[in-house]
Structure 1
Amino acid sequence: MKKEFGEIFRKNEKLRVLASIIGAAIYALGLNWFIVPLNLYSGGMMGIAQLIRTFLSNSFGIQPGQLDLAGVFYYILNIPMVIMAVKKMDKLFVKKLLITLTACTIFLSVIPIPEKPILGEELTNCLIGGIICGFGIGMYLRAGCSGGGFEVLGIYLARTKPNFSVGKMNLIVNGVIYAVCLILFDPSVAVYSVIYSVFMSITMDKFHAQNIRVEAIILSKTNNDQIEAQILKRLGRGITCWKAKGGFTGENIDVLYTVLSKYEIGILKDIVYTANPQAFMVVKEGLSVDGNFIKRLS
Structure 2
Amino acid sequence: MEKKILNMSKSEFVKKTIMIIVGSFVNALGVNLFIIPSKLLNGGLSGISLIIHYLFNLPVGLVLLVLNIPLFILSVLKTDKKFTTFSVIGTVALSLGLIILEPLSKIFHFSNDASRLLYCIYGGIISGLGLGIVFSNNGSTGGIDIISVIAKRKYNIDIGFASFIINFIIATAGSISFGIEVGLYTFIVMYVSSYFTDKVLKGFSTQKMLIIVSKKEKEVSEAIMKKINRGTTILYGEGAYSREKINIIYCIASPRQLPRIKQLVHQIDESAFISITDTSEVQGKGFVDIIGQ
TM-score, normalised to structure 1, is 0.61
Root-mean-square deviation (CA), in Å? 3.4
Distance across 2 between alignment mates of 1:135 and 1:206 = 8
Q: Is the 8 A contact 1:33 1:114 kept in 2?
A: yes
In the TM superposition, residue 171 of structure 1 has moved relative to its aligned partner by 2.3
Residue in structure 2 matched with residue 290 of structure 1 by the alignment: none
Does 148-157 or 35-44 show the bigger shift?
148-157
* d(CA) in 1 for partners of 2:15, 2:32: 26
**Is residue 2:174 matched to residue 1:181?**
yes
CA, structure 1 residues 81+114, in 2 after alignment: closer, same or farther (shift >3 Å)? closer
- The one-letter code sitting in structure 1 at the alignment partner of 2:55 is F
Matching of residues 51-62 of structure 1 within 5 Å: 51-57=51-57
Equivalent of 1:117 in 101, 108, 113: 108
Instruction: Supply the distance in 2 between the matched residues of 1:24 and 1:41 (Cα, whole angstroms).
Output: 17
Which residue is 1:200 aligned to?
193
Shift of 1:88: 2.4
In the alignment, structure 1 segments of 5+ residues that lack a partner are: 1-7, 58-62, 64-68, 211-242, 250-261, 274-298
Q: What is the CA distance between 1:97 and its match in structure 2?
A: 1.6
Please tell me whether the aligned partners of residues 19 and 140 of structure 1 are also in contact (alpha carbons under 8 angstroms): yes
CA–CA distance in structure 1, aligned partners of residues 86 and 190 of structure 2 = 25
> Partners in 2 of 1:138 and 1:244 — Cα distance?
38
Are positions 1:97 and 2:90 aligned together?
no
Q: Partners in 2 of 1:190 and 1:103 — Cα distance? A: 27
- For residue 31 of structure 1, what is the aligned residue in structure 2? 31
Of stretches 70-79 and 134-143 in structure 1, the one that deviates more from structure 2 is 70-79
Distance 1:157 1:184, change over 3 A: closer
> Relative to 1, partners in 2 of residues 1:146 and 1:72: Cα closer, same or farther, differing over 3 Å?
same
1:156 paired with 2:146, answer no
Deviation at 1:170, TM superposition (A): 2.2
1:216 paired residue number? none
Counterpart amino acid of residue 70 in structure 2: P
What secondary structure is seen at the aligned counterpart in 2 of 1:114? helix
TM-score (structure 2 length as normaliser) = 0.62
Matches within 5 A, 1:46-85: 46-57=46-57, 69-85=59-75
Task: Give the structure with higher Rg (CA).
Answer: 2
The structure whose RCO (Cα within 8 Å, separation 6+) is larger is 1
Q: For residues 63-103 of structure 1, give each alpha carbon's deviation from its aligned partner in whole angstroms, at most 9, with x where no partner exists.
A: 5xxxxx11111111111221122122222322222111111
Separation in 2 of the partners of 1:145 and 1:188? 32
Q: CA distance change for structure 1 residues 153 and 181 in 2, over 3 Å: closer, same or farther?
A: closer
Which consecutive unaligned segments of at least 5 residues does structure 2 have? 1-7, 204-235, 239-243, 248-279, 287-293
Q: Contact 2:38/2:110 (CA < 8 Å) preserved in 1?
A: no
Matches within 5 A, 1:218-237: none
